[in-house]
Amino acid sequence: MSSCASSSSVRLNSMKMQERRLALPLLGVLVWVLSIHSGTYAGATLLPIPITGAGLLRTSADQREPPLPHAYDRLLVTPSDLNDSVVFAERILDTLHRLEANLVSAKVILKDGTPSQGEFAAGTPEVEALQRGRQALRAVEASIQLVVHMCGSMSFNYKDCARFMNRFSLDGTPLGSSCEHLTKKCTAEEYGYMYRSGDGLCNNGKNGAWGEAFTAYARLLPADYLDGIRIPHRAVNKRPLPNPRLVSLTLVTNTGIPTRDLTLAVMQWGQFLEHDLSRTAVSVMSKFL
């Protein structure tokens, strides 16, 4: 009886030691996750998005683009052209708003208790994120109209034309105020706060926008849209590319081979990264704004 008790005590102490060894790494993961969502370390995964006075946002990826043909030097874009494109974009969004109202009237909405409704409840973005998304949509629609209007009649390549239009500023248009938060300069007082800000703004001493909430992703490679703005790239035969999920399932198979070197903490770390990056603000109807 005493030997069994002694053996149980040894096993219990061994389990406690293992729990303590595992607790510290898991605690570190928990602190890291909480820091990510408070904007502490988000700068490690989100690059700053500088404004170059352009209608579209530019990143370091744009600097690797080849120079534009000299023919674009003859293309004259006036402030009136920029304002007309924004007005056109507003009309597009007004049409979308009317469509949304018709869908609501027809009860074409999420049903309570469905998986879609559960996903929406878990990932509903904040109002500010939705408002910035609407502003970005206006800029996209305005850019499309500008490219088609200015370059369509001259048979210019749409991709090059979109890059050319990226040089022009939204200042002086109804969308001019939408970029103010991207150019905000942190004050010495904001940098000197004892505690980090909840939204991540001014937490980084050199780059105040790093880790800030409601910031867009930055590209590592230049964009490759079919129209230079938003239409997904197609295959060489002009057909749509295969579904990304199909590609991943085809190339990466689940063999179910266990490993002795990696623990579930490694999986959780990757999952935390994936969740943070995949929680991009979703698009909802205007009635939720």
Region of poorest pLDDT, from 23-27, 40-44, 219-223: 40-44
Q: What is the spatial distance between Cα 124 and Cα 282, in angstroms, rounded to a whole number?
A: 7
pLDDT in tens, 127-139: 888 888 888 889 9
218 close to 49: Cβ distance less than 8 angstroms? yes
- The two tokens of residue 145 are 């109209």
Q: What is the spatial distance between Cα 110 and Cα 104, in angstroms, rounded to a whole number?
A: 10
Region of poorest pLDDT, from 15-19, 101-105, 121-125, 236-240: 15-19
Q: Which of 171, 175, 172 is nearest to 140 (CA)?
A: 175
pLDDT at residue 54, as a whole number: 37
Orientation of helix 2-38 relative to helix 264-278, angle to 10°? 20
Q: What is the spatial distance between Cα 60 and Cα 226, in angstroms, rounded to a whole number?
A: 21
Confidence class of residue 90 from pLDDT cuts 50, 70 and 90?
A: very high
- The two tokens of residue 205 are 């001493």
pLDDT at residue 64, as a whole number: 61
DSSP state of 8: H
pLDDT at residue 9, as a whole number: 45
Q: What is the spatial distance between Cα 144 and Cα 179, in angstroms, rounded to a whole number?
A: 18
Residue 89 pLDDT greater than 90, yes or no: yes
pLDDT at residue 47, as a whole number: 29
Q: What is the spatial distance between Cα 182 and Cα 234, in angstroms, rounded to a whole number?
A: 32
Active site residues: 275
Buried residues in 209-231 as b, exposed as e (16+ CB within 10 A): bbbbbbbeebeeeebeeebbbee
| Token pair 């510290």 in the structure block, residue | 24
Helix extents (H) in 152-282: 158-165, 188-191, 244-251, 264-278
226 close to 233: Cβ distance less than 8 angstroms? yes
How much is the CA Rg of the chain, to the nearest whole Å? 25
Mean pLDDT over all residues of the chain? 74
pLDDT at residue 62, as a whole number: 54
Confidence class of residue 236 from pLDDT cuts 50, 70 and 90?
A: confident
Which percentage of the chain shows pLDDT scores above 90? 9
pLDDT at residue 26, as a whole number: 45
Q: Which residues make beta-bridge pairs with 234? A: 240
pLDDT at residue 142, as a whole number: 92
75 close to 164: Cβ distance less than 8 angstroms? yes
Map residue 81 onto helix, strand or coil.
helix
Residue 229 pLDDT greater than 70, yes or no: yes
Residue 36 pLDDT greater than 60, yes or no: no
pLDDT at residue 85, as a whole number: 92
For the ranges 51-55, 65-69, 116-120, the maximum mean pLDDT occurs at 116-120
pLDDT at residue 222, as a whole number: 77
Confidence class of residue 38 from pLDDT cuts 50, 70 and 90?
A: very low
